[in-house]
Amino acid sequence: MLTKLYFDILREIIYQNTGIIFDDKKKYFIENRVKEHMEELGLSSLKEYIYRLKTDRKTIKEFISKITVNETYFYREYYHLRALAKLVQSENHPLPVKVLSIPCSTGEEPYSIAIVLNEVLEDTNKFEIVGVDIDIHAIKKAREGLYGKRSVSKLPSQYLEKYFNQVEEEKWMIKDFIKRRVKFYEGNILDRFFVKGLGKFHYVFCKNLLIYFDEKARTQAINNLYDVLMDGGFLFLGHAESISRSSSLFEPVKVEDTIVYKKVSEEEEDEW
């Protein structure tokens, strides 16, 4: 049984490394993940386990991978992809279109973006996509590009045929010509220098992550995304996420039937 003291130490370690908050109701969940991890490491002392988490990068990365929620699928929240297509088709859009998907989990979101952009632009050289997630195993799966039935169930069948090779009865591999347009990196959205190092993007998708953060981590993440967006670029958030009305960094804009957030630039004439 995980005592309150150890639960508090563990959730503080998680918060410091990811920004994710676990409330008291999640004690049982954390307890199970810790137990499983300790067994894998051959450890029987919780004290020793916590020491390992604090001193060994590999151990903390494995633990983070165990506690993250990787739920995602192709064409999730399709209205955002439709809005992206509309924005990209606007006149004089600079090329290549650059998009960041953070967090990208196992890759379904950035590959969906790649499919939509290829349909709209009809040339893979006209777009570049970067996917980032803190979970090392999710990034490994994303790079592999192999998906099961559940992941592709919302994808229109003509795109499944056009962009995937079926490799087993219920397994599909994303085709190389589209895979090449998406680069994946393991990283933390709260790491300012890491995020800055990714370059500049016209669009950033940050969906279904901020809901797990507290206000402080949310603000840090939004500031980092502001820095990585080009002036006049757009931020897409999940349906349960929004930017405070009082924020001066972004202006909510209605595109198609959804709200996206336009970066308010310091100097308007720099906008693309």
Ligand X SMILES: C[S@@+](CC[C@H](N)C(=O)[O-])C[C@H]1O[C@@H](n2cnc3c(N)ncnc32)[C@H](O)[C@@H]1O
Sites of contact with ligand X (CB under 6 A): 18-20, 68-72, 76, 103, 105, 109, 133-135, 138, 188-190, 207-209, 238
Instruction: Using the minimum distance from each CB to ligand X, give the nearer residue, 134 or 260.
Output: 134
Nearest residue (CB) to ligand X, 95 versus 199? 199
Least Cβ distance, residue 24 to ligand X (angstroms) = 20
**Comparison of 210 and 249: residue with beta carbon closer to ligand X:** 210
Smallest gap from residue 266 Cβ to ligand X (A): 26
> Smallest gap, in angstroms, from Cβ of residue 47 to ligand X?
26
Burial class (CB in 10 A: 0-12, 13-18, 19+), 21: middle
- Closest CB to ligand X among 218 and 263? 218
* Single-letter residue type at 268: E
Nearest CA-CA partner of 136 in 58, 30, 210? 58
Nearer to ligand X, 69 or 167 (CB): 69
| Complex with ligand X: residue 31 or 186, whichever CB lies closer | 186
Shortest distance, CB of residue 215 to ligand X, whole angstroms? 15
Least separation, in Å, of the C-beta of 94 and ligand X? 25
Q: Which is nearer to ligand X, 217 or 268 (CB)?
A: 217
Question: Rounded to the nearest whole angstrom, what is the least distance from the CB of residue 103 to ligand X in the complex?
Answer: 3
Q: Which two tokens stand for residue 174?
A: 């994303």
How many C-beta atoms surround the C-beta of residue 79 within 10 A? Answer: 12
Q: Supply the DSSP symbol for 165.
A: E
User: Which alpha helices (H) appear in 19-126, and where do they start and end?
Assistant: 27-41, 46-55, 57-67, 78-88, 108-121
219, two tokens: 């603000």
Task: List for the chain the helix, strand, coil content (%; round to 5).
Answer: 50, 20, 30
CB of 107 to ligand X, least distance (A): 9
H helical segments located in the chain: 4-18, 27-41, 46-55, 57-67, 78-88, 108-121, 136-144, 149-152, 157-163, 176-179, 192-196, 215-228
Residue 192, Cβ density class (10 Å: 0-12 exposed, 13-18 middle, ≥19 buried):
middle
Q: How far apart are CA 99 and CA 208, in angstroms?
A: 17
C-alpha distances in Å from residue 48, one per residue of 10, 28, 42, 44, 248? 13, 20, 11, 8, 46
